[in-house]
């Protein structure tokens, strides 16, 4: 195999709780992660040149060591002393700086792709152990599906697929970094409601969509919505047009709504596009 084309799936956080800051500067988290059928395309090809060459359709993205895809490929090349190079073409569709792990998922695809085209024989678990060196979300993006994430996000427990539902995604025209989200997080603020992660896990295992939805929550919301009220406006619009629950994903600013029918989701998507509150709108489902 000399080349491969992979889908790098976006994720949403059905539940996101931060327990506190660790001595090493990282934060202890508990999250329920879910991939959705929105993805970047990552094409990887062997080259005779020993270099890593990254191309992307977004002019403002770095194509050097500052890109997680580059770092993932370099880690594998260095460890396994791969003499050949790779050309990686990254077609971005997942919004950037949106709380949807686009960069982490692209890096996960790079790990998987390099493993396959060079026949390294690494298992999923082997790849996940290496992936955490590039980013806390990257191991999950290798695993995909529904999972409980703990530690800094690298301790993963696979969960059954969530009950059938549809997901409307709306990203306003602002970007939020993870750093900004943590700077605006006040864990002792009464406005911060810690989601019932254990209850959500139980509901998912029991196939209880109502139980899952009733426990959804994101501790980052109060701090980020305080800075960007448009997030609340998108949440309200979705819930006023059929979403069982609308919530910010990750560190934001993307909002997703959970719907129990495709028709309701598509009607809400039309209203959201018309409203111009969201710069990017996707109607999709869990993967």
Buried b (16+ CB within 10 A) or exposed e, 189-198: eeebeebbbe
The sign of the dihedral angle between the CA atoms of 96, 100, 101, 105 is negative
Task: Please state, in angstroms and rounded to a whole number, the distance separating the CA atoms of residues 150 and 32.
Answer: 9
Which one is catalytic: 17, 40, 106, 137?
137
Q: Annotated catalytic residue: which of 11, 77, 235, 245?
A: 11
Quick check: bond before 52 cis, omega within 30? no
State yes or no: is 129 an active-site residue.
no
Please report the DSSP string for 112-173 in residue order.
Answer: HHHHHHTT----HHHHHHHHTTT-TTHHHHHH-SEEEEETTTTEEEE-PPPPS-EEEEEE-S
Is 66 designated active site?
A: no
Which residues lie below 8 Å from residue 59, measured CB to CB, with a gap of 6+? none
**Token output for 243:** 């979403």
Here the tokens at position 145 are 């599906």
Which residues participate in catalysis according to the annotation?
11, 137
């Amino acid at each position: 195999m000399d080349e491969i084309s992979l889908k790098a799936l976006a994720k949403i956080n059905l539940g996101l709780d931060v327990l506190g800051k660790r001595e090493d500067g990282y934060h202890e988290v508990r999250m329920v992660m879910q991939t959705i059928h929105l993805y970047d395309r990552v094409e990887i090809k062997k080259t005779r040149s020993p270099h890593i060459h990254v191309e992307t359709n977004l002019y403002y993205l770095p194509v050097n060591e500052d890109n997680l895809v580059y770092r993932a490929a370099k880690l594998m090349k260095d460890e396994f002393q791969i003499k050949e190079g790779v050309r990686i073409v990254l077609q971005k569709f997942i919004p950037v700086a949106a709380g949807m792990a686009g960069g982490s998922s692209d890096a996960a695809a790079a790990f998987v792709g390099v493993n396959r085209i060079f026949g390294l024989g690494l298992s999923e678990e082997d790849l996940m152990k290496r992936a955490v060196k590039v980013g806390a979300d990257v191991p999950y993006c290798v695993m995909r599906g529904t999972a409980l994430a703990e530690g800094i996000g690298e301790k993963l427990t696979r969960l059954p697929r969530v009950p059938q539902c549809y997901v409307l995604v709306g990203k306003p025209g602002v970007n939020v970094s993870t750093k900004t989200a943590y700077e605006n997080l006040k864990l002792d603020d009464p406005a911060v409601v810690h989601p019932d992660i254990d209850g959500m896990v139980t509901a998912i295992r029991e196939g209880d969509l109502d139980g899952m939805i009733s426990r959804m929550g994101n501790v980052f919301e109060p701090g980020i919505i305080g800075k960007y009220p448009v997030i609340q406006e998108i949440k309200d619009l979705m819930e006023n047009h059929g979403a069982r629950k609308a919530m910010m994903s990750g560190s934001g600013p993307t909002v997703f709504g959970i719907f129990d029918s495709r028709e309701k989701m598509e009607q809400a998507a039309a209203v959201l596009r018309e409203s111009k509150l969201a710069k990017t709108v996707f109607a999709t489902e869990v993967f």
